Amino acid sequence: MPRRFWGAWYTRRVAAPAADLRRRVMGWRAAERREQTLRAHEGPPSPADALDAAFELYDLFNEASELPDVLRAREVAEARAAWRAVRARLACRSAAPIPR
């Protein structure tokens, strides 16, 4: 496995053989062509099918939005703690209190 010097870090890169990568890309392209031809032969969906697909997509996004965003809550808590520390540090250096 080749080692490359990247700044101050040595990283190990595992390169896929070119033939495997080429085969994978060709497979993706073939699947995309098949899907395009299938869509072209089927034509546009009926209004009922389009409406059902829209409702399914709405339900999927609705379920995803109902999950609690733990990462966002942690980021907000960390930001608030950091600002408290900054305010406390600045309040110690100045004679006047910092307005909120």
Mean pLDDT along residues 58-79 = 79
- Both 21 and 39 in one domain: the answer is yes
**pLDDT value at position 62?**
75
- Both 26 and 53 in one domain: the answer is yes
- Both 44 and 74 in one domain: the answer is no
Mean pLDDT along residues 8-31 = 77
**Residue-range definition of the domain harbouring residue 90:** 68-100
Residue 37, domain member (yes or no) = yes
CA distances from 96 to 53, 93, 99 (A): 61, 9, 9
Is-contact 3 10, C-beta < 8 A?
A: yes
- Both 55 and 85 in one domain: the answer is no
Residue 39, domain member (yes or no) = yes
Report the domain count for the chain: 2
- Both 23 and 49 in one domain: the answer is yes
Q: What is the mean pLDDT of the chain?
A: 78
Whether 39 shows a pLDDT value over 60: the answer reads yes
